Amino acid sequence: MRTRDGGFTLIETIVAIAIFALVAAAVQLALGGAWSGARRTDRHLKALTIAQSRLAETGIATPLIEGTTSGAADGGYAWSVETRPRETPDSAIGDSAATKLSAYWVTVRVSWREPAMAKDRSIEIRTLKIGRTE
């Protein structure tokens, strides 16, 4: 009668390598998806930062007047700021010429191309700002 030496047979080794390959492929796919999601989130946060800074400077660094401005930012982002008066029966707020204020809707759009998905993405934020009328 033969006894086993305690080593692995060829079939056991092949099965172990196949299982290892399947697990390694699954881990690689999971990590690749996680990195891709992290990159998309990073680009979205950069676009949101651009939009917030454009919104914050409207009425301070740039005048609060009706119209649209646009431009580009580093990283392939394009932005536009649309300012329009709020529609009210009496758009001026205040009773004296020194304190007359008007409300303006300010809409900021930021768009960019998502390279991994070959899609255009965009975000939009909007707020109501109060400004002095001339």
pLDDT attached to residue 127: 94
pLDDT, residue 61, reads 86
Q: What is the pLDDT, as a whole number, of residue 2?
A: 59
Cβ contact 6:12 at 8 Å: no
* Res 93 pLDDT > 70: no
Model confidence at 98: pLDDT above 60: no
CB burial string 32-59: b at 16+ within 10 A, e below? eeeeeeeeeeebeebbeebbeebbeebb
Residue in the block written with tokens 């079939």: 11
Is the pLDDT score of 91 beyond 90? no
Q: pLDDT at residue 69 above 90? A: yes
User: Which is higher by pLDDT, 126 or 88?
Assistant: 126
10 by Cβ neighbours in 10 Å (0-12 / 13-18 / 19+) ranks as: exposed
